[in-house]
Structure 1
Amino acid sequence: MKQKNTLKKIELRNLQIEDYFELKRSMIESYSEMEDMYWKEHHIEKLLKVFPEGQLVVLVDGKVVGSALSLIIDEDDIDENHTYEEITGNYTFSTHDPKGNIIYGIDVFIHPKYRGLRLGRRLYDQRKELCEQLNLKGIMFAGRIPNYSKVADQMTPKQYIEKVRMKDLFDPVLAFQLSNDFHVRKVMKNYLEGDNESKDFAVLMEWNNIYYEPSPKLINSKKSVVRLGLIQWQMRPLYNLDALFEQAEFFIDAVSGYSSDFALFPELFTAPLMADYNHLNEPDAIRELAKFTEPIRKKFEEFAISYNINIITGSMPYLENGKLLNVGFLCKRDGSSEMYTKIHITPNEVSTWGMSGGDLIKTFDTDCGRIGIVICYDVEFPELPRLLADQGMQILFVPFLTDTQNGYTRVKHCAQARAIENECYVAIAGCVGNLPKVNNMDIQFAQAAVFTPSDFAFPTNGIKAEATPNTEMTLIVDVDIDLLKELHEHGSVKTLKDRRFDLYEVKKKK
C-alpha cells in the first residue's frame, strides 16, 4: 500500500491515447479477479474519437491510477434488459449518439493500492459536472454487486440491495454508488459475462440532473456556489501531536462529509502542545512549539488529499533564519500547498514572544476561485485586504485568536467592513475555551461567522451565518460567487469601481 503522506500531486483530466499502457496496467490490477478484463488500445482510440470529453483519468504523481469511461445514448434506446455487449455495440461503441440525452458509464475503476483516497468520488463528481455542462438528463450505468455471491443462497438480489441500502450488509461497489446519489432503477440478469462474484446480476443505476432543461443551451460550467466549513476549535489539553491530529481529522471529516470546499482552522490552534514547555519562558516555549509546524503541514496536506477538501490551517509559529513568524498553510486537495504569513504583529506578540511580521502579500488560486488569507490583527488594516481585492480575491479567510470580547469585537466589525468595501465574502474562525497550563494563552473568546457585502442579494445585516459564541462547533455555509459579479456590475453602490484614483491609490511596495 502506497502511504498517503508520500503523495505529492493528484490530477483529474481527460484521457489521452498516450495514457494507454498505464491505463491497462491499472485496469488489470483493478479487475484481477476477472481474467483478461481490460480495454485494448483500439477500443480506447475509438472512445477518444467518438466522445473524448467523456473519457476521464485520475493521476497520482503523474501515474494513471483510475479512470471513468462513458458514452452518450438516448434514453429511449436503452432496453432495460440490455447486456454490456449490447450497450457498447459489441465493444464497437456504435451505440454512441451525440444527440442523445443520457451519459452511460461503461467503466469506472481505481487501482487497489490507491483506494481509500476518494479518487472514485472525484471521477463521479466530474462526470456529473460534464452531464450538467452538456445539459443532459442524467447518468446511467449497470453496476456490479461483487459481494452478492457470499449470500446468494440466502436472499434474492432485491433483498440484498435493500440490506446494502440499509447498511445491514456491505457491498463495496453498490454502497459507493448509493452514497454518490445514484438510485436503483432495475436489477438485470446476465449483464456481464464472467462476473461470477455478482452471480451474473447487475443493478441499473441512475442519477438525475436537476438542472436539465430540454433546450440546446448549455449550463454555465463554472462553479458558483462554494461551501465553507468553519471550525470553532476548543482549546483543551493535548498530550502529543497524534492527539492534535486525531481532533483535527474529526473536524475535517465532519465538514468534508457535508461536501465543504474549504475547512478553516483558527489562529494558533496548536497552542495546547505548548503545555509541555510551560516551565520555560514564553519566547523559548513558543519556539519549541514551532518545531511541530512542518510535521503539521505534511499531515494536513495528507488530510486535504484524503478528504478531498482545501484546508486553511489557521496559523502556527514558524522559525525562518532565526526569525519567529506567525504562518499558516493553504493545503489544496490536489496535494499542493502554499504558505501565508501574518503581516501585522500585535504588541503582545512582540513583547511576549519576540515575533516578527512577514512580507507575503498575495492571493491564492483554488479550484473554487481566488481567495485571500489574513491572520487576525491583519484584518484591522484595510489596506491589506484592499490589495488582495485588487488581485481578484472573492473570499477572504481570517483565522483569529482573541482572549476577550473587546478583541473579538475589533476582528468582527473590521471583517464586516472588509466584506463591504471589497465586495467579497469574509469567513472568520477562532478558538474557544481555556488553557490554564499554557502561559499567555489562558483564555479565549470567539464566534465564527461568514460576512457578506450589504446589498439586496445578501442578508440585510451583512451576516450570512454565525456560530454559537464560545462553544466548540462547526459552521457550514454556502456562498454564491456569481452574486459578487452581479454586485460588482449592478450593485446599489460600487465601492471598488467608484474609487477616486485621481486623488489616492493603495499599492504594494516592490
Structure 2
Amino acid sequence: MQINKVELRNLEIEDYIELKNSMLQAYEEGVEDPYWKKEEIRRLLKVFPEGQIVIVVDDVVVGAALSLIVDESLALSNHKYNDIVTDSKFNAHNPDGDVLYGIDIFIHPNYRGLRLGRRLYDVRKELCEQLNLKSIIFAGRIPNYHNYSKELTPKQYLDRVKTKEIHDPVISFQVNNDFHIKRLLRNYLEGDRDSRDYAVLLEWNNISYDKSPVLINAKKSVVRLGLIQWQMRPLNNLEEFFDQAEFFIDAVSGYESDFATFPELFVAPLMADYNHLSESEAIRELSKYTDTIHKRFQELAIQYNINIITGSMPYLEDNVLYNVGFLCKRDGSSEMYRKIHITPNERLYWGMQGGDVIQTFDTDCGKIGIIICYDVEFPELSRIMSEDGMEILFVPYLTDTQNGYTRVRSCAQARAIENECYVAITGCVGNLPKVNNMDIQYGQAAVFTPSDFAFPNNGVKAEATPNTEMTLIVDVELNALKELHELGSVRIKKDRRLDLYKLRKLK
C-alpha cells in the first residue's frame, strides 16, 4: 500500500462520514450498533473535544480514539459501558476528574499492520500526561473467548493470554502497550456475543502525574536516538538489503526511538554487481537504486512510527552525481540533504560534486541538522544551523582508517561544544573486498554533548564498541540545552564577539 502522509489530529464533525465508514469496516462482526450516530459525535465533541483523536492517512480518516474524563472511583468500580457513556449523553464526563477513560478505539482493517493503533495509544498517553491525569482506564473486549468458553473460564482464558499460549487480538495488544489487567467485568457491553458479555478492565499509570503540561503533541524534552553501526557484507539483491535495514529499524523502534540513523554510503554492497566497471561507472549504476530505496524508507518510517535518517547514497541529477540522504519522517513526508564538501577521493574516483544548500529540518522532536562525514570538519556549516535553532546534529559518515575516523570524531565533539548541541555520529564497519574503492571501514558510533556540569565530564553521552555491528540507543535531554544557554559555566552562543566578526549564508 502506497502511503504519502499520516496525520494525528483532533476529530471534527466534518469527519463524520469517513469516521462512520471506517467504524463499519472495523466492527462489521461481533458488535451490535457498530457506529456512533452523528448527533452522538456532535455531543461528544461538545463535552470534550480534546479527547477525540483521529488518525488520517492521505486525508482519509482511518481510525480514532475517543475518550472522556471521569472520576477514578467510577472507572475502577464494577461498572458497565453505559455507566460511562450514559446512553450517549456522556453525563459521566467530569472535567475535574482524574482518569482518562477510553470509550472507543479502532483502525480500518485495510490499514492494520502499520502500527497505526500504537500511534493512537501513544497520543492518548500524551494527552493523559498533558492533562495531569492519574491514568488511562478502559474495558477491553475479549473477542476470541467464544472459541474457548466451553473449556475455559474467563480467568483461565486471561491467564493463557498472559503466558502467550493464546493470542487475543485486543488484550494481547493492550498488554504490549503497557496496560495491566485490573479485573474482569461481567455484562459490560450489551450484545458482545464473541466476548460472552465479559470485558477486561485495563489501566495505564501516568508516572508523570503531578506535572501539568497543557499542549497536545507538545515538543518532547527527552529524545531517543537510535544509531545503527552497519556491517558491510555481500548482498545478493535489493531485497536482502531491505531485509537487513528493516531488521535494524524494527530493533530501534522496539526501544521507542524517535530516530533511526544509518551511515554514509551503507548501500555500497549493492555495487558488487558492477565491480567489472570503472569506479565512476559503478557508482552511477548504484544511483539507479536511490529512488526505490528512498520510497521504501518512507514506508518503513510510517510502519515503524520513527523518523529515519537514511545515511547517504549516490544520486544522479542532470547527469551530475551527488552524495545525498533523506530525512523520512514518521508522518510520511521526507526531505533531501546533500553532502556539501566532497573529499578528494570522492572527486577523483567517482566524479562527485557538492551540494549548495545549508538547511535545518523541523521534526516532531525539534529542529535538527544533518551533515555528511567530511562536512563536520567545516565548523561554519553547523554554526549556521545552530543559529537557525538546531539542537541535534546528525553526522552519518564512512571512514576507512582510524585516523580518518579520528578527524570525524574530534570535529563532531568540537561541534557539540561550540554550538551547545548534541551531535550523533554513526558509520559503517567491516570489509567489502568485492567492491572497488570500498575495501575497509573503521567506525564507532557515538553521541557527544556540550561540556558543562549537566553533561558527562568527557562530553561523551554514549559510544558503541568499535568495529562491531550493533545499535546504540541514547536519550538526550533538550531542556538541559536551554539551561546551558542561559546558565552554563560558559555561554558560547551568547558570548560571541559579533561586533568583530559575523558569519552569513550566501544562498
Q: Normalising to structure 2: TM-score of the pair?
A: 0.98
Correspondence for 2:71: 74
CA displacement, residues 425-451 of structure 1 (integer Å, 9 cap, x when unaligned): 000000000010100000000000000
| Among candidates 368, 373, 386, match of residue 370 of structure 2 | 373
Structure 1 residue runs of 4 or more that deviate by more than 6 Å after TM superposition: none
Correspondence for 1:24: 20
| Amino acid aligned to 2:21 | R
Matched, 1:356 2:357: no
| Among candidates 158, 162, 174, match of residue 165 of structure 1 | 162
Q: Normalising to structure 1: TM-score of the pair?
A: 0.98
Correspondence for 1:49: 46
CA displacement, residues 195-219 of structure 1 (integer Å, 9 cap, x when unaligned): 1111110000011111112x8x547
Matches of 1:387 and 1:336, distance apart in 2: 24
What secondary structure is seen at the aligned counterpart in 2 of 1:130?
A: helix
CA displacement, residues 266-309 of structure 1 (integer Å, 9 cap, x when unaligned): 00000000000000000000000000000000000000000000
Matched, 1:401 2:378: no
8 A contact 2:19–2:62 mirrored in 1: yes
Tell me by how many angstroms 1:85 deviates. Answer: 1.1
Matched, 1:248 2:227: no
| Among candidates 142, 146, 151, match of residue 143 of structure 2 | 146
| Among candidates 283, 304, 309, match of residue 306 of structure 2 | 309
Matches of 1:52 and 1:388, distance apart in 2: 38
Correspondence for 1:506: 503
Name the % identity: 70
| Amino acid aligned to 1:265 | F
Q: Where in structure 2 are the equivalents of 1:106-505 lying within 5 Å?
A: 106-213=103-210, 217-218=212-213, 221-505=218-502
Matches of 1:171 and 1:144, distance apart in 2: 9
Tell me by how many angstroms 1:35 deviates. Answer: 3.8
What secondary structure is seen at the aligned counterpart in 2 of 1:468?
A: coil
| Amino acid aligned to 1:205 | L
Matched, 1:102 2:99: yes
Tell me by how many angstroms 1:239 deviates. Answer: 1.0
Matches of 1:142 and 1:336, distance apart in 2: 35
8 A contact 2:75–2:99 mirrored in 1: no
For structure 2, the residue ranges without an aligned partner over 5 or more in a row are: none
CA displacement, residues 301-328 of structure 1 (integer Å, 9 cap, x when unaligned): 0000000000000000000101000000
Correspondence for 2:90: 93
Tell me by how many angstroms 1:388 deviates. Answer: 0.5
| Amino acid aligned to 1:362 | Q
8 A contact 1:435–1:442 mirrored in 2: yes
| Among candidates 2, 6, 26, match of residue 10 of structure 1 | 6
| Amino acid aligned to 2:499 | D
Matches of 1:79 and 1:440, distance apart in 2: 65
Question: What is the CA RMSD across the aligned residues, in angstroms?
Answer: 1.0
What secondary structure is seen at the aligned counterpart in 1 of 2:325?
A: strand
| Amino acid aligned to 1:46 | R
What secondary structure is seen at the aligned counterpart in 1 of 2:394?
A: strand
Matches of 1:150 and 1:75, distance apart in 2: 33
8 A contact 1:80–1:186 mirrored in 2: no
CA displacement, residues 364-394 of structure 1 (integer Å, 9 cap, x when unaligned): 0000000000000000000000010011000
For structure 1, the residue ranges without an aligned partner over 5 or more in a row are: none
74-83 or 360-369, larger mean C-alpha shift: 74-83
| Amino acid aligned to 2:11 | L
Tell me by how many angstroms 1:91 deviates. Answer: 1.8
Matches of 1:307 and 1:18, distance apart in 2: 29
Tell me by how many angstroms 1:222 deviates. Answer: 3.5
Q: Size of the alignment, in residue pairs?
A: 504
Matches of 2:142 and 2:77, distance apart in 1: 18
| Amino acid aligned to 1:21 | I
What secondary structure is seen at the aligned counterpart in 1 of 2:486?
A: helix
Tell me by how many angstroms 1:79 deviates. Answer: 5.8
